[in-house]
Amino acid sequence: MNAHEIDYQIYGEEMQYVEIELDPQEAVVAEAGSFMMMDSDIKMDTIFGDGSNQDTGVLGKIFSAGKRILTGESLFMTAFLNIGQGKRQVSFASPYPGKILPIDLSEKQGKFICQKDAFLCAAKGVSVGIEFSKKLGRGLFGGEGFIMQKLEGDGLAFVHAGGTMAKKELAAGEILKVDTGCIVGFSQTVDYDIEFVGGIKNTIFGGEGLFFATLRGPGTVYIQSLPFSRLAGRVLASIPKGGKDKGEGSILGTLGDIVGGDNRF
């Protein structure tokens, strides 16, 4: 195997974290901000890119790191290496409520495609790159632009799905239609495209956007019920405006302000 062979345990229900057990000289790489805790004898190091091209010279390292700019990620990732004599643990936490999904790339023919903000961590040796869309419609309206993230190698990787996760096994030619933001990832055999919702009423009053994704099998698709964009939109919509802290925008809220002594009328 090219990637380090790591063991893991996932804890929790709604706000999960994954604890990874490292043998001596084993390492895991993670996005900035996902680290939770670690044992002693774990050495933390900032590296260019994902660490999978460390033997290709300076240009290889720069190219590996430069690809990450296109997905909106940092040039750097963090590597956690066990420099002790025994097994050590390091843990990484979910960024928001949802599920952590382990992906064994050796079972996915060495490649898995996911949304660019879904990746959490992976065994060192797994390549975290970019997947360019070859179709104009998918690039313009897919919600993730022309670029998605691809995980390549033969090791374990961990991605995060918001809310409840659904796993769908598509037969050859079988089609699944999904909200573009609800896609977590899919195997490389799945064909991904964008379809117009259609109909004037659906377009103007549907409230579900103008496009949805069509996923054609064969392959495995992972769907999330709570994309971060949807969660952020609900949070922003509930933030009080104008300094009021309750019942904003409702009749009950206005009555509450009067009873509470708010005389700004």
Query: Cα separation of 129 and 120, whole Å?
Result: 14
- The pLDDT, as a whole number, for residue 14 is 85
Contact 48, 62 (CB under 8 A): yes
Domain layout of the chain by residue ranges: 7-237
- Cα Dmax for the chain: 71
pTM of the model: 0.77
Using CA atoms, how far residue 200 sits from 3, 205, 208, 211, in Å, is 51, 8, 13, 13
Q: What is the mean pLDDT of residues 70-88?
A: 82
pLDDT band at 259 (very low <50, low <70, confident <90, very high): very low
Lowest mean pLDDT among 186-190, 224-228, 240-244, 260-264: 260-264
Using CA atoms, how far residue 215 sits from 7, 16, 138, 174, in Å, is 32, 28, 12, 8
Q: What is the mean pLDDT of residues 79-101?
A: 94
Query: Cα separation of 251 and 259, whole Å?
Result: 12
- The pLDDT, as a whole number, for residue 212 is 80
Query: Cα separation of 108 and 3, whole Å?
Result: 15
Percent of all residues in the chain with a pLDDT value above 70, rounded to a whole number: 68
Query: Cα separation of 179 and 157, whole Å?
Result: 24
> Which tens digits make up the pLDDT trace of 172-221?
999 999 988 889 999 999 998 887 765 555 445 444 456 788 899 999 99
> Which tens digits make up the pLDDT trace of 22-39?
999 999 999 888 899 999
Contact 186, 120 (CB under 8 A): no
| pLDDT exceeds 80 at position 115 | yes
Domain 7-237 has CATH 1.10.3720.10: no
Instruction: Give the other-Cβ count within 10 Å of 58's Cβ.
Output: 8
Give the three-class secondary structure for 6. coil
Higher pLDDT among residues 139 and 28, named by residue:
28
